[in-house]
Amino acid sequence: MPQSLQDVLKLFAVEDVGGDTFIGPQPIDDVERVRVFGGQVVAQAMAAAARTMTGRHLHSLHVSFLRPGNPNVPLQYDVVSLREGRTFSTRRVTTRQGDIVVMEAHVSFIVPIDNDDYQQPMPLVPAPETLPNLEEQLAPYIDEGYAELVRLRLFEMRYIDPPPRVAVDTGVPNEAVCRLWLRIESEPPPALVSDPLLAMCLLGYVSDWTILDPVQVGVGKTWQDMETMASLDHAMWFHRPVDFSDWLLYDQRSPSSIGGRGVGTGLIYNRNGELVCTVTQEGYLGRRR
């Protein structure tokens, strides 16, 4: 995983090689990775689709992860216009590495509209300043593969409910919930403040980090106890501008896990209680062949 925020933001600068085709770079880091991080592909697909659009803002995307990407090969994003309506525009984004299709996405854009405003209220939760940080919560488990997660200093994360590794020691709960506050560890760079799309891409990137946490809580197992855990699809709906200058609440829940598939849902609120984004992902928890 990239070790700085600037390294992450560079991933979203996809290169236009003509014909609505873009090349997404891979991160340069000192950690040997088995596959491409799903959040990276989500964010780069958003960036590629947006490069073919003017005057409308991105409001949703639906991604199908088809194969694990090779982290050592650049990703090619082919963008096709499926719809150019009076209100909506839709792009299909196909992600390839050579002849191998890694991902398919539909990205939708809308003209600015003033209309009625409603949202589900933010739940009453403890303020992030009152909660222990992730290093403190996972200190007893560092030797179980969590050192890399704790070492990452891109985002500070403070769990309201116990993170999965802590939760599984207390037994399966009545409700699979895993809520956390998160914020950028450093001061947001000016580009992240002035460019709404860049902020949306970063939220797409980080939204994939923990969305299957409640699934692990619900089944009482962490990823170390499963033969495999992988993302099958990922969907996001953006409701309000993303502001990384303060904490964001990620309210994550799992309504079901059955037949080797678990669903995670998430509502992302800003510190003022405004609903910024809705996230849904289905993960594969089955056995390897």
The reported pLDDT for the residue numbered 26 is 93
Instruction: For residue 241, give the amino acid letter.
Output: P
Give the architecture (CATH level 2) of 1-114: Roll (3.10)
Taking 50 as the pLDDT cut, the residues of the chain under it are 150
In the chain, domain spans = 1-114, 126-289
Cβ proximity of 80 and 104 under 8 Å: no
Q: Which amino acid is at 57?
A: H
Catalytic residue check, 281? yes
Q: At which residue do the structure tokens 């803002």 appear? A: 57
183 vs 210: CA distance, rounded Å: 14
Q: What is the DSSP string of 117-163?
A: ---PPPP----GGGS--HHHHHGGGGGGTTHHHHH--SEEEEESSPP
To the nearest 10°, the Cα dihedral for 164, 4, 248, 48? -100
Buried b (16+ CB within 10 A) or exposed e, 72-103: eeebbbebeeeeeeeeebbbbbbbbbeeeebb
Catalytic residue among 40, 60, 208, 216: 208
8 A C-beta contact, residue 230 and residue 65: yes
CATH topology for 126-289 is Porin (2.40.160)
Q: What DSSP string runs through 168-181? A: GGG---SS-EEEEE
CA-CA-CA-CA torsion sign (2, 8, 10, 15): positive
Out of 231, 252, 254, 257, which one is annotated catalytic?
Answer: 231
What's the confidence (pLDDT) of residue 38?
Answer: 93
Tokens of 46: 């958003």
Does the annotation count 231 as an active-site position?
yes
